Structure 1
């Protein structure tokens, strides 16, 4: 039997705690129907017996406090909300306990932006971390040494599992079930809870938000210029000429500040422009592509799929009003 400790972190969402508890607990019922003993012992663990969540709107009574947990096999870090630096400070008392258990071969399952707290402990150093696309820039600014993965949903590295994207933590739990109990149980849980087990990428859901938390005024002006002209057909040399800077040096500065080359940034702005028109407009797909400034329809389709994992046609089917 594996013991699971779901941490009741300050500023955690109640839904991520409860749904984790529900999934792992219900799996015991699935196994029971197969005539097998329960596999998980699931407990909610906190600093005190009664933990307040959601700015005090909810109170959760935990099964144990952390000092009462002598041994566990899996620690689940729930999704956090609000101000991440404040949430990290509030949960600091969990850090040594978490680090100690990890070094005692305990698995850590981190749900979405619970990764901000996990990163603050140092346990993600020199590891990959999946981060919600909307939190990527803030995470990168706070933890520049951690390698962010923002295209796939799940990472699995040295006993630490992370996931990016709001409710994609449900897919991470299915992934853990498969590792512990096999594909059959994971598929059964997927069917019972109606979770899309094949969801692998954040890209179809992501909205491009340019990284602007830097102090390079010229790069900021270039970003604003590109974003203000999504249908323009200017080249990278023309952007550099617009600001009277040498291409090689400025491209290096731009990439350092934004994590995108100038060409990639222009592509992503055009893709966002196309996505909005595909979602709401009545124009044909080809008309929208031409409006972005592309004359080569196949070339744009390749760029669009690179950033969304969908063709423009499939994107319209998925998101049009």
Structure 2
């Protein structure tokens, strides 16, 4: 029997704890209905006998404390809320416990911004990780030695798993179900919970908001210039010249400050604007393309799909209310 340890940290997101427990206990019910023995022993693991969440609105009573768990096969870290640095400090007693059990053979899965707790163990240093797209800048600032992969729904490396933003944790749970059981059971679970199996990217849901929490004022002004001149064809050479910075030095400073190259930033700002037009206007794809400064249809479609994972027409059909009704 596989032992599943679902952590209950202070300031955890309650629904993810309940959903994870529900998925694995439902698997046991499926197996028993098929005349088989249950596969999973699922326990909520905490630092104390009661964990209060959502400013005391809810409380959870863990099944066991960390000192009571001598062996486990899978540790699940739920998303955290509030000030992440302060939350990690309050939950730091979990970190050596996670490290010890990982080295004893347990696998570890972080859901959404539970990635911050997994990264705080140091186990992800030099490895890939997924997290919520909205927390990417904060994650990179706190954990520069971790390779955060933008847009990825699931990352898996040497028994360490992580998921992208918000409800994409269901896809990681499905992935774990398939690894620990088989494809048939994973499909049955996906159908029961009405989940899209094998979803790979959170790119269509990303809202790009350029990183401006830095002190490089000329780069901030360059960002603002890009954002205020969407219809213009802006070259990186022109930007460097406008702000009196050598091209190579400008590239380095821009990348360091924003986590994007200047060319990437220009593309992402333009595509974010295009997304808004496609979501909320009557304009067709070509009209939107011109609104954001592209003149070549193939180039626009290529960049749009690279960033969002969808073609412009597919994006419009998915998110524009009138297109959906039509």
1:94 is matched with which residue? Answer: 94
Query: Could you tell me which residue of structure 2 aligns to residue 252 of structure 1?
Result: 252
* Secondary structure of residue in 1 paired with 2:203: coil
Q: 1:64 corresponds to which residue? A: 64
Segments ≥4 residues shifted beyond 6 Å? none
| Partners of 1:67 and 1:253 in 2: CA distance | 47
Partners in 1 of 2:250 and 2:161 — Cα distance? 37
Q: CA deviation at 1:260?
A: 1.6
1:204 match: secondary structure? helix
- Say yes or no: does 1:117 pair with 2:149: no
- Once the two structures are superposed, the pairs formed by residues 69-80 of structure 1 within 5 Å of their partners are 69-80=69-80
Aligned partner of 1:5 in structure 2 is 5
| Residue matched to 2:289 | 289
Q: Which residue of 1 aligns with 2:310?
A: 310
User: Normalising by structure 1, what TM-score?
Assistant: 0.98
In the other structure, the counterpart of 1:279 is: 279
1:202 corresponds to: 202
Report how far residue 182 of structure 1 moved: 1.1
Aligned CA-pair RMSD: 1.0
- 1:263 corresponds to: 263
Q: Deviations over 1:121-179 (max 9, x none)?
A: 11111211102110000000111111001222101111111011101111000000110
User: Which runs of 5 or more structure 1 residues have no equivalent in the other structure?
Assistant: none
TM-score, reference length from structure 2: 0.96
Aligned equivalents of 1:255 and 1:112: distance in 2? 25
Cα contact 1:290–1:297 (8 A) shared by 2: no
- Equivalent residue for 2:224? 224
Q: Which residue number in structure 2 is paired with residue 178 of structure 1?
A: 178
1:87 touches 1:117 (CA, 8 Å); kept in 2? Answer: no
Alpha-carbon distance between aligned partners in 2 of 1:95 and 1:245, rounded to the nearest angstrom: 44
Question: Which residue in 2 is equivalent to 1:37?
Answer: 37
CA deviation profile, 1:87-135 (whole Å, cap 9, x unmatched): 1011011111111111111111111101111111111112111021100
Does the 8 Å CA contact 2:226/2:234 hold for their aligned counterparts? no
Q: Separation in 1 of the partners of 2:126 and 2:318?
A: 37
Question: What is the alpha-carbon distance in structure 2 between the residues aligned to residue 229 and residue 54 of structure 1?
Answer: 42
Alignment partners' CA distance in 2, 1:94 and 1:236: 46
8 Å contact 1:78–1:110 — kept in the other structure?
Answer: yes
Q: C-alpha separation between the residues in 2 aligned to 1:236 and 1:67?
A: 56
CA–CA distance in structure 2, aligned partners of residues 155 and 283 of structure 1: 37
Higher mean C-alpha displacement, 142-151 vs 252-261: 252-261
The answer to whether the Cα contact below 8 Å between 1:130 and 1:163 also exists between their aligned partners in 2 is: yes
**Structure 1 residue 212: deviation in Å?**
2.1
